[in-house]
A and B are shown apart, each in its own frame.
Chain A
Amino acid sequence: MKAFLAAFFLVLVSATVANYCLDPLGKRALTPEVGELPPGYLYPARGGNVHLLKLRMLRHAPPGSDFILGSSRVLAWGTPQFPPGRPVVNLAITNAEALDYFPLLDELIHSGNAHAVYVELSPWTFSARTRDETPENRFLERPPERYSYEELLSFSVLRQALLGLRNDDLPGRPLAPGNTERYGYRPDGRFRYPASYEARSTSEVVETAVSAASAPHIELLEAGLNLEKVRRLCDRVRALHAKQVAVQLLTVPWNPAATQRVAQRHLSYTVQSVHEELVEAVQRSCDEPVHRFEAACPQEEFFDDHHPRPACFDRLAAKLELLTSGRGGSDRTEGPPGDSKSAAADPASRLDSGKGHP
């Protein structure tokens, strides 16, 4: 019985120790510290607080940087789409709501050393169904959590620990260059999606786009806008202008297949209608032009229904350069040859109507 029990408990104790020490669920993982930027590097890590990471990246950005605020939809937008030598920091946060923008914008106002700020406007970011207040600890280090005994005695947790050890992908550590199954920023500041995501064919993307366009999260769109949040955004935009920081408000492209799918569902709204509502509200409240790009890219330039690939951002960057007379969006008063307010109002003169795309 002794040999039997010894082997039995040896397995259990070894698994418990490995699970506890390697912390595969990231219960004790800290958000990675951020060095000077650029050069950027593969910051994202499992188990950290991405909000805090972005705040740290903002604080360590060199003076005169360009900043991109938004959700996961603008993650693939960065250094390659900006003039050479221009430091760019992508502050996008997956599933970001307007409330996630405000602390970052406040920090930018406080520091006052940004060159330009690009802000994604998505209807669900300003949806009336999102939270009204930012949780206090949203941008703080998360306190460590305890492992339950079921987690410590779990083979699947042990498997995660061992795989994490092998792939150099344990929580709380900056992403390893060799780890291609997680998104991150390369040393040159370019964004890298997971390899499996990159490898998707257009047909797979369209299939995903069509099914995702039926997903429940799209219901955020039908809730209407929270105008108070729009007003709070506008207050910060004005404060940035007062600090001589250029601000570009823009909508982000949707996969045309998903746009079409939403239209076919006979809902009370379409992708165009919710964007029009948002753009009107922002323009009214901020007295600021909005660059409309929701129909700017063809379907092969998407990862899924609403996440554009870098090629799509190349297209957007070219148009933004056109709008700002090659000044990288640094001056709002000199404006584009065609005022984007009028561009929004006149469908024929929109930046991109999607016509001509395959």
Chain B
Amino acid sequence: MLFNSAQFIFLFLPAVLVCARFLRGNPLLIWIALTSYYFYSFAGDAWFLLPMLFTTVLDFGLALKIDRAGAVERRILLCLSLCGNLGLLVYFKYGGLFSRTFAGNGSALASFFDVALPAGISFYTFQTMSYVIDVYRRRCPPERNFWSFVSFVSFFPHLVAGPLTRHDQLIPQLHRIAREGIAPRWREGLFLFALGLAKKSLLADRIATLIDPMIASGPDGALRGWLCAIGYALQIYFDFSGYTDMAIGLGRLFGIELPKNFDSPYRASDIADFWRRWHMTLSQWLRDYLYIPLGGSRCSPLRCGINLLITMVLGGLWHGANWTFACWGMFHGVWLIAHRFLAPRLSLPAIVRQGTTFLGVTVGWILFRSTNLSQARHWFAQILGLGGVGRGAETPSEQALILLCLVGLVIVHQVPNSGTIRLDRLPVFQRVLLGAAAGFAVLLMNDGAKFLYFQF
């Protein structure tokens, strides 16, 4: 069951909200947890629930013990938690990659790690890890209500693809709704949900149906190479930010505010600015729990560069067990290092900086989208013109793609960020237009695909 499915919109969500309206205290939290587990069981196989349950019970228990333990024991318990969480990630996500790389495809090791990846495992593992680390650092007390902790981990709006929500952002709100009941913000919630659905169904999925066959067969010529690259840059943005809008909108239907995840990233003036605007919750997590503990920027320039590179490569690998993600992370790491040392010496007009940042990020997405490095190499060769200029707008589907890309570029560069749009402040014409777009998005839901970030 996906957000963009009729079962979710017309059956699951109304049923969950109606019952939640009548509940308070632990029964409400239990209801949220159970319905979230029910939702999650449809995200793949039912056994996906087991690793999530394991992480939840492990970190809930260890956090309580850490709070009471002495210094040495605290450290041991923290290691236990990190090993448990990272162990799950390594087994389900990275074991396959390393065993295939170092032991070969048909090896016994490779078949041991040949398991399906539970949806959203990277998200909830990082959430509970940050919780345990914060309890260890005594930045927050441990949560003593098991059901509010279960709800924090599994709350279905953010469960499968974020936003990566911290305990201090969600648990206090869960306590509040348990105390006072849910206070739906219908207007804001439904509007944001509809906006996200429109982004996903009308733009991301339409672009995907056009570029996927071209990418699969290998784009030929510079024009097609660039068309596919720009198309994918727009697809991933509308797909992921559409999902995030829907998640935040759903949260508001429970009276819960989930953290912002996008801030018009393609309007970033440089690469550092881009990472402050793109997948903000992951960037913040990596900054707080990886980059700063490594030493951050308060060290020698060389060490700072290494810290950046490690953070970005691991951030890349967080997206998936493929060397293309590692290369994508390295690409951004190198770019961030170059930016840190060269930016103070360069003075470029804002529009040039914005344009080059967008183009650079678009080129980076080639590594992200390619299924292997040879596909990426071929794609890079095409955009560099090594395969000739080629043809760009011959077929109706290419013309449709160009049109969609133009619309998408106008939206990402001109239209305000969805979080800042207030429905009641829009002219009637625009409200009608948005309502119709949301209606067509519902009609197109069945022709769409899964959200891209489900695989991470």
* Chain A interface residues toward B at CB < 8 A: 1, 3-12, 15, 149-150, 153-156, 158
B350 within 8 A of A: no
B432 near A4 with CB under 8 A, answer: yes
Which chain A residue has the least Cβ–Cβ distance from B11? A149
Set of chain B residues within 8 Å of A9, measured between Cβ atoms: 439
Set of chain B residues within 8 Å of A3, measured between Cβ atoms: 428, 431-432, 435
Contact of B447 among A7, A8, A156 (CB under 8 A): A156
A154 near B191 with CB under 8 A, answer: no
Determine the distance from Cα of A10 to Cα of B431 in the docked complex, in whole angstroms: 13
Binary flags per residue of B414-450, CB closer than 8 Å to A gives 1, else 0:
0000000001100010011111101110111111000
* Chain B interface residues toward A at CB < 8 A: 6, 10, 187, 191, 194, 423-424, 428, 431-436, 438-440, 442-447
Mostly, the B contact residues are helix
Set of chain A residues within 8 Å of B447, measured between Cβ atoms: 154-156
A156 near B439 with CB under 8 A, answer: no
Number of A-B contacts (CB under 8 A): 68
B439 near A7 with CB under 8 A, answer: yes
Chosen A-B contacts, 15 in total, with CB atoms closer than 8 Å, are A3-B431, A3-B435, A4-B434, A5-B435, A7-B434, A7-B435, A7-B439, A9-B439, A11-B435, A11-B442, A12-B443, A150-B6, A153-B442, A155-B446, A158-B443
Asked whether A15 and B443 contact (CB < 8 A) given A3-B428, A8-B194, the answer is: yes
B428 near A10 with CB under 8 A, answer: no
Set of chain B residues within 8 Å of A154, measured between Cβ atoms: 443, 446-447
Set of chain B residues within 8 Å of A149, measured between Cβ atoms: 6, 10
Which chain A residue has the least Cβ–Cβ distance from B438? A8
B196 to chain A, nearest CB (A): 14
Q: A7-B436, A8-B435, A153-B446 are in contact. List 8 more A-B contacts (CB 8 A).
A: A4-B423, A4-B431, A4-B434, A5-B435, A6-B432, A11-B442, A153-B6, A154-B446
A6 near B446 with CB under 8 A, answer: no
B443 near A11 with CB under 8 A, answer: yes
Determine the distance from Cα of A265 to Cα of B421 in the docked complex, in whole angstroms: 64
Mostly, the A contact residues are helix
Determine the distance from Cα of A37 to Cα of B446 in the docked complex, in whole angstroms: 44
Set of chain B residues within 8 Å of A6, measured between Cβ atoms: 432, 435
B431 near A7 with CB under 8 A, answer: yes
B431 to chain A, nearest CB (A): 4
Set of chain B residues within 8 Å of A11, measured between Cβ atoms: 435-436, 439-440, 442-443
Set of chain A residues within 8 Å of B424, measured between Cβ atoms: 1
Set of chain B residues within 8 Å of A153, measured between Cβ atoms: 6, 442-443, 445-446
Asked whether A7 and B432 contact (CB < 8 A) given A1-B423, A149-B10, the answer is: yes
Determine the distance from Cα of A153 to Cα of B435 in the docked complex, in whole angstroms: 16
B436 near A1 with CB under 8 A, answer: no
B436 near A8 with CB under 8 A, answer: yes
Q: What are the 10 tightest A-B residue pairs by CB atom distance, in nearest-first order?
A: A11-B439, A7-B435, A155-B443, A4-B435, A8-B435, A3-B431, A7-B432, A7-B436, A4-B431, A155-B444
Set of chain A residues within 8 Å of B187, measured between Cβ atoms: 1
Set of chain B residues within 8 Å of A12, measured between Cβ atoms: 439, 442-443
Determine the distance from Cα of A15 to Cα of B187 in the docked complex, in whole angstroms: 24
Set of chain A residues within 8 Å of B438, measured between Cβ atoms: 4, 8
A156 near B191 with CB under 8 A, answer: no
Determine the distance from Cα of A39 to Cα of B393 in the docked complex, in whole angstroms: 48
Which chain A residue has the least Cβ–Cβ distance from B426? A4
B435 near A156 with CB under 8 A, answer: no
Set of chain B residues within 8 Å of A4, measured between Cβ atoms: 191, 194, 423, 431-432, 434-435, 438
Set of chain A residues within 8 Å of B444, measured between Cβ atoms: 155
Determine the distance from Cα of A156 to Cα of B448 in the docked complex, in whole angstroms: 11
B25 to chain A, nearest CB (A): 31
A31 to chain B, nearest CB (A): 29
Choose among A4, A5, A12, A156 the residue with the greatest number of B CB atoms under 10 Å from its CB: A4
Set of chain A residues within 8 Å of B10, measured between Cβ atoms: 149
Set of chain B residues within 8 Å of A10, measured between Cβ atoms: 435-436, 439
Determine the distance from Cα of A7 to Cα of B439 in the docked complex, in whole angstroms: 7
Set of chain A residues within 8 Å of B442, measured between Cβ atoms: 8, 11-12, 153
Set of chain B residues within 8 Å of A7, measured between Cβ atoms: 431-436, 439
Which chain B residue has the least Cβ–Cβ distance from A9? B439
Asked whether A155 and B439 contact (CB < 8 A) given A4-B191, A4-B431, the answer is: no
Which chain B residue has the least Cβ–Cβ distance from A16? B443
